[in-house]
Structure 1
Amino acid sequence: MKRTAGILSIVFVIALLWKDIAAFSWNVWFYNNQVELAAKYCVNKKKPMLHCDGKCYLAKQLKKLEQEEKKNQPVPKMPLKLKENVWNADSQKPVPFENLFISSLKETAVFFYQNQKLISFSGSVFHPPAIVG
């Protein structure tokens, strides 16, 4: 069981890193064969002052690899839209999203002072649900 989980995890990691592995393999292959590639495929052979040394070929191959990845990605048919209104549980009326935070700040004042004395205090503070166990 542990061996199967190990193999599956290795396959999963390779699947996640496939694009990076492919780009890395192109770079390793390029630097191992840079002299030959510069002689055969370099566009700037006649301009040695540019010091291209076949890097134009590597850039073309990496761009081609990236375009293949983009072509293979599924394109969503319909763009996702967010709801325009947020429902308030107290009034069951739609509240525009822009006014949600501003109106809640105006309605609930935590406390205020008048003549150096505490007049009103709101003890209702939101607490996330606790796990009872």
Structure 2
Amino acid sequence: MLSMLRRGVIYLIIVSTLAANFSRFFIFAGFELNRNYIAANLCENIDEPWMHCEGKCYLEKKIKQTQESEKSDEHQSQKNLFQEAAINNSSLIKFQNQLLHIINTPYPPGGLAQFNGTLFRPPQLS
């Protein structure tokens, strides 16, 4: 039963991947099968017979819609992948808020005043 379910899921994934990749082919095949109906009823240039459009305007419009939807789907999937990567990587960072060792280093009396003043003189302008 479980292997049958896996096989069904695999077939579903393969079919959906192929359908996404061959969407233009399916649009063109649908256009060719319904060419007479599209030319008679859905053509935008039906009032201009000298253009010999015969429904090609409808085909171009459908292909353009498909390209735009694929582009927006691709953009959305990239955004989702980025969000998933950001969420997954944030769990790898762990901060430890623990003080390990304190080092007491006493400064000699007059500690910083012992430096020679000739070292820290600004350059002279000539």
Name the TM-score, length of structure 1 as normaliser: 0.46
Higher RCO, 1 vs 2 (CA within 8 Å, ≥6 residues apart): 2
Larger Rg, first or second structure (1 or 2) = 2
Q: Going by fraction, where is helix more abundant, 1 or 2?
A: 2
Q: Going by fraction, where is strand more abundant, 1 or 2?
A: 1
